[in-house]
């Protein structure tokens, strides 16, 4: 299928121009077949020096901007989608870059009118430093992300419940828009809406982007905590497996209490923790292929699990908090 059949508008939301945004725009302009347009959605109009950098890129005449003000990514994408004649939107994060064949591999599934969203894995760039690659290891592992690990590692082609907006192609359909009140996980809600409208969401491992990871530390912690908060707010028996890290957090809290009250029983109470450590080390060595960063990966796993579990608890408690009366 040729890119000429569809008017594809690649939407890149961001706060301010930086080197990663320039990398993302350049990659979008270098695709074959090419997209018809690239829409940039910054907080404020770009500076003249930023436009000078864009004009030096081949295909720069296809770039436009739609400043949105300091709003969340979902609102930014909605701004780009308003009064837009595109057939398909290509959603890419400003810290991600598409592969040159992104449209060549991503457009064919739209031959099926029931398919509304297509995407694939977002991979850790080879140039990321070891602290970012360790976080990428966690995200590409079932131990780190559960069933959602396919967002970060190629698996077989299939229909899925959700895809991330750092690597997503979506039909321009009335009513298929992002929930503006969501500051995170708006991609999950977007895919849920497509399903409710009767559409399919398709995963193809060939539809790839490179996506820079958060560096191990506060930003990585915050990312997984935010994941947990959203999942905690939508907790249900159907998605009980998503609460597994909460069980780990509760176990650690219980372990600390028990060891204070009955320190003589430490052998009995710590064996689950020892088993967890063995699994984490084995998975870290597999992902890092024996490289030294495996030590960082082994540290990143419990950081991710505790952050997510803590966030899940906050989200679950927050949705049950009664609303305060006005006045």
Choice between 259 and 33, residue whose per-residue pLDDT is larger: 33
Q: Which residue has the tokens 């490179």?
A: 210
Closest CA to 84 of 25, 143, 147, 11: 11
pLDDT score of 13 more than 90: yes
Mean pLDDT of 182-196: 93
Answering whether pTM is above 0.95, one says: no
- Rounded to whole angstroms, how far apart are CA atoms 106 and 149? 20
Q: Nearest 5°: phi and psi at 211?
A: -135, 115
> What is the separation, in whole angstroms, between the first and last Cα of the chain?
60
- What average pLDDT is seen over the chain? 93
Residues 172/84, Cβ–Cβ less than 8 Å: yes
Cα 47 to Cα 28: distance, rounded to the nearest angstrom: 20
pLDDT value, residue 325 = 31
pLDDT at 320: 55
Structure confidence at residue 322 as a pLDDT band (50, 70, 90): very low
- Is residue 202's pLDDT more than 70? yes
Return the pLDDT at 4. 64
- Cβ–Cβ < 8 Å for 58, 26: no
Q: Which long-range contacts (CB under 8 A, 24 or more apart) does 76-79 make?
A: 76/13, 76/41, 77/11, 77/13, 77/41, 77/165, 77/178, 78/177, 78/178, 78/180, 79/41
CB atoms within 10 A of CB 240: 9
- pLDDT grade for 276, boundaries at 50, 70 and 90: very high
Are the CB atoms for 96 and 167 separated by under 8 Å? yes
Q: What percent of the chain has pLDDT over 90?
A: 83
Asked if residue 71 has pLDDT above 90, the reply is: yes
Read off the pLDDT of each residue in 153-182 and give the average, rounded to a whole number: 96
Domain 3-211 belongs in CATH node 3.40.50.300: no
Rounded distance between C-alpha atoms, residue 104 and residue 1, angstroms: 7
Give the tokens for residue 16: 């301010």
Task: Quote the tokens at residue 308.
Answer: 């997510």
Cα–Cα distance for residue pair 256/270, rounded to 1 Å: 10
DSSP state of 228: H
- Cα–Cα separations (whole angstroms), residue 241 to 148, 164, 323: 11, 20, 28
Q: How far is the C-alpha of 124 from the C-alpha of 144, rounded, in Å? A: 15
Q: Please check the confidence at residue 2 and state whether its pLDDT lies above 90.
A: no
DSSP letter for each residue of 177-194: ---TT-SS-HHHHHHHHH
Q: Which residue in 315, 305, 293, 308 sits closest to 136, CA to CA?
A: 293
| φ, ψ for residue 292, nearest 5 deg | -60, -25
Domain boundaries, the chain: 3-211, 218-319
The answer to whether residues 249 and 309 touch, using CB atoms and an 8 Å cutoff, is yes
Give the mean pLDDT of 80-89: 97
Query: What pLDDT is recorded for position 263?
Result: 78
Do residues 312 and 232 lie in contact, with contact meaning Cβ atoms separated by under 8 Å? yes
Residue range 254-276: mean pLDDT, rounded: 85
pLDDT attached to residue 185: 84
Q: In the prediction, which pLDDT does 230 show?
A: 87
**What is the pLDDT, as a whole number, of residue 205?**
98
């Amino acid at each position: 299928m040729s890119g000429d059949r569809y008017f594809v508008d690649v939407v890149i939301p961001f706060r301010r121009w930086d080197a990663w945004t320039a990398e993302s725009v350049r990659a979008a302009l270098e695709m074959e077949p090419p997209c018809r347009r690239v829409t940039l959605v910054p907080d404020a109009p770009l500076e003249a020096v930023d436009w000078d950098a864009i004009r030096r890129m081949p295909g720069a005449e296809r770039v436009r901007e739609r400043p949105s003000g300091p709003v969340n990514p979902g609102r930014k994408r909605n701004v780009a989608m308003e009064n837009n004649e595109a057939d398909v939107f290509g959603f890419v994060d400003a810290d991600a870059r598409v592969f040159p064949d992104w449209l060549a591999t991503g457009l064919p599934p739209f031959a099926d009118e029931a398919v509304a969203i297509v995407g694939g894995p977002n991979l850790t760039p080879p140039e990321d430093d070891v602290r970012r690659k360790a976080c990428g290891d966690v995200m590409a592992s079932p131990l780190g992300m559960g069933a959602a690990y396919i967002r970060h590692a190629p698996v077989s082609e299939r229909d899925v419940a959700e895809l991330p907006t750092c690597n997503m192609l979506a039909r321009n359909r009335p009513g298929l828009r992002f929930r503006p009140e969501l500051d995170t996980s708006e991609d999950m809600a977007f895919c849920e809406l497509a399903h409710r409208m009767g559409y399919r969401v398709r995963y193809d491992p060939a539809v790839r982007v490179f996506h820079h990871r958060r560096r191990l530390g506060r930003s990585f912690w915050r990312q997984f905590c935010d994941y947990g908060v959203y999942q905690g707010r939508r907790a249900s028996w159907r998605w009980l497996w998503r609460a597994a890290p909460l069980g780990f957090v509760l176990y650690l809290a219980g372990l600390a209490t028990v060891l204070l009250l009955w320190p003589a029983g430490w052998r009995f109470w710590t064996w689950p923790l020892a088993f967890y450590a063995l699994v984490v080390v084995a998975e870290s060595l597999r992902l890092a292929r024996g490289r030294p960063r495996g030590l960082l990966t082994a540290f990143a796993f419990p950081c991710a699990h505790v952050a997510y579990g803590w966030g899940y608890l906050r989200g679950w408690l927050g949705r049950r908090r009664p609303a305060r009366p006005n006045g």
